[in-house]
A and B are shown apart, each in its own frame.
Chain A
Amino acid sequence: MSDTLLHYVLIPFVKGLVTVLLLALAAGVLTWIERRLLGRFQIRKGPNRVGPQGFFQWIADVVKLVFKEDVVPSRAEKALHLLGPLLLFVPAVVVLGLVPWGPEVTLFGVTTPLHAAADLNVGLLLILAVSTIGVYGIILSGWASNSKYPLLGGLRSAAQLISYEVPMGLAVVAAILMSNSLSMVEIIEAQRRAGVWFVFPGLVAFFLYFVSGVAETNRTPFDLPEAESELVGGFHTEYSGFRWAVFFMSEYGNMISISAVATTLFFGGWLRPFPNVAWLSFLDVVPAFFWFTGKVFLFLIAYIWFRATFPRYRFDQLMALGWKSLIPISLVNLALVAIAVLWGAAGLKVLGAILVLLVAAGLFAVWRRPARPRTSTTMASANVEVRA
């Protein structure tokens, strides 16, 4: 009887609690990493006063936000105004709970998979379904604020998130084809059996998934719903204090969730590189959980790098990119992957090799491209001439 209590109540409760806390903690630490890294990108220092290297800055920020006055616009739709941030935050936690962080582990004499929820046989479908709910959070908070800028932000995000869910879904289908399963654990095991991470045969699918993921999380260059220079704060213009903090946490939580799913689908989850090559087994000294978090971390760095590099797309250009480029590419990619899977085990390896060679050739061409000529008086542009 106590066994039932342990396995059906206590362990799931602890795991759920750990997931929520870990996500909140990781989001906080991530803001510190982002600000320090942006500082490096932008020839400045970033926060460096609170604690060593400014590490406790995020705690100070959280404290400030919690004690800040919680302003609700007087004619706002109060209930929905409250519901908005929650609807954005909860899906991020649930998705992270559905992703396996490692294989079975034994802690305090209890053996359990490192996985907050059970390993569902429709795990991937549930992830897609749950992450879609987040868009309601943005639309409702934009609408409930009873203000024009949030309304525009909400409308933008509605269109954006729905558009980018299509290429994202199609990219995920490619991973499903390769692994022949919807279960997250099974997808990782399939990558172990195939001897190759799905990122190689699924290079295009991974690219599509990650680009759509950036759009889904409203990050630069797709941060239109909250575009500061255009819509002030977008959907969260009328939020302050802790409600705003929840939005902030959800953005970072969503980044982590998207990265975690990308890691699982395309980068072998907790597997070490080349899981079947025996002489690399010394890599196993690093526990599986750290392989997983390390990969997720690399994705997060990429997010921050994007933010330092790219200007923002315009709304219609964003839509055009989604519908006219990403969706056709993902359909073609799906056909290619399907053919490779039909071919058999060798098919995936051949497809992966071809794609890797193509990317290498492209990089080589970029590397060999001549530098733009510059002189002190003119620029290397046909648009501008100089007249004495």
Chain B
Amino acid sequence: MSESTPGTTAQFPPLAGPPLLGLHEMELNFGPQHPSTHGVLRLVLKVDGERIVSARPDVGYLHRGTEKLFETETFPMVIPHTDRMDYVAASTNNHAYCLVVEKLLGVEVPKRAQYIRVLLDEMQRISSHVLWLATAAIDLGAITPFFYTFRDREVILDLFEEYCGARLTLNCMRIGGLPVDLTPGWLEKVRAFAEPFEKCIDEYEDLLTENRIWKERTVGIAVLDEKRCIEWGVTGPVLRAAGKAWDIRRALPYECYPELEFDIPVGRNADTYDRYLVRVAEIRQSRRIVLQCLDWLDKNPGTEIRGKVPRVIKPPAGEAYASVEAPKGELGFHLVASGGNKPYRLHVRPPSFINLQALPEMAQGHLVGDLVAVIGTIDIVLGEVDR
């Protein structure tokens, strides 16, 4: 596979033959202002009629220099900046960052805080996946699932708001634990949402899973097999849909995940349809985890939300890497500390950016109409791609 260059596969060889009237290929700017590039992604397409000869992503329209910004902030002040990377899954960003600092500090997070963190993460995963479902469906012209998913996402955001005051940029974790304890009655509200939520997932599936047009638009589209996924470093649902049961929660367990029961959904065909199925199955699994966390928290009341953390956080000089399973894949932070109260260097391994690399290969040979399915199926958030 080493001789294969990005953007060409054996399946879709470059078009042969002399150009017709010099109009063989047309260059088409897809974005940065386009309804379905999910933000400010720009793709420079070469199209032959409607067939995509090559698709070159051009990123950076949302670049804010976040990694450099990290170096100017003290360790606790970095957390709000992480919110703004994958802004539809802020809690997993907070979590990954807190984990890496805790690793270097050697702080133990209390069990109760771990369960609350996992609870928040899994609610975030549900909200991120239903948002993906909404936008992916609307890209393919199915407008109705959008409203059903937003009905339920709204409830999750309200619950986040009640817990930490924010709906999107949560800032809901602190180094060593959590910022605040749970509001009284909050757990019951989460349970009131999570228990009947199964029916809502069934509703999404009724709208799409066996829908013939949905299947025609997604089966066999943007195939990226396990080998190519690993070569590109692709993680998350895209990798799992290719048949690899790789999930950081199980592969490199963190927090209380080893104590929780859940399965890893794995696809067979590595296409857009399997990625859809895998994500919907993950929503069901997340709901399972949420319910288990609720049970544990009900059985173990307490007030402990934070481990023993010094007032001024100054990790010893050294390096650490920690990662979590974010909704989009492996989100990792690589921290280099020099012994001061600010990170010397904090590098992010953003799943959206790394998964996006596979887009030219996935898009090639498909039609312009499929391109929106390809962009949708990777599930990118431009805040994380550009940082």
Contact = CB atoms under 8 A, between A and B. Distances in A.
A328 to B, nearest CB: 19
Interface in A243-279: none
Contacts of A148: 26, 28-29
A43 B152 CA distance: 12
A1 interface: no
A315 interface: yes
A378 B264 CA distance: 10
Contacts of A230: 36, 368-369, 371-372
Contacts of A310: 141-142, 211, 213
B42 interface: no
A379 interface: yes
A232 B34 contact: yes
Contacts of B151: 43
Given A230-B372, A376-B284, A384-B265, A307 B143 contact: yes
B168 interface: no
B266 A384 contact: yes
For chain B, which range describes its interface: under 10, 10 to 19, 20 to 34, or 35 or more residues? 35 or more
B217 A311 contact: yes
A377 B147 contact: no
Contact of B141 (A221, A372, A374): A221
For chain A, which range describes its interface: under 10, 10 to 19, 20 to 34, or 35 or more residues? 35 or more
Chain B interface main SS type = helix
Interface of A: 38, 41-44, 148-149, 152, 155-156, 220-221, 223-224, 227-232, 307-317, 372, 374, 376-379, 381-388
Nearest to A233: B35
A317 B148 contact: no
Given A230-B368, A311-B214, A386 B144 contact: no
Nearest to B33: A232
B281 interface: yes
B367 A43 contact: no
A376 B285 CA distance: 8
B245 A387 contact: yes
A381 B209 contact: yes
A149 B31 CA distance: 12
Nearest to A320: B216
Given A148-B28, A230-B372, A381-B277, A44 B147 contact: yes
Given A381-B209, A383-B273, A314 B369 contact: yes
Interface string B128-146: 0000000001111111101
B211 A385 contact: no
Contacts of A383: 267-269, 273-274, 277
Which of B208, B368, B369 has most chain A Cβ within 10 Å? B369
Nearest to B285: A377
B202 interface: yes
B379 interface: no
B198 interface: yes
Nearest to A228: B35
A38 B277 CA distance: 27
A221 B148 CA distance: 20
Interface in B331-366: none
A352 to B, nearest CB: 28
Nearest to B202: A374
A384 B137 contact: no
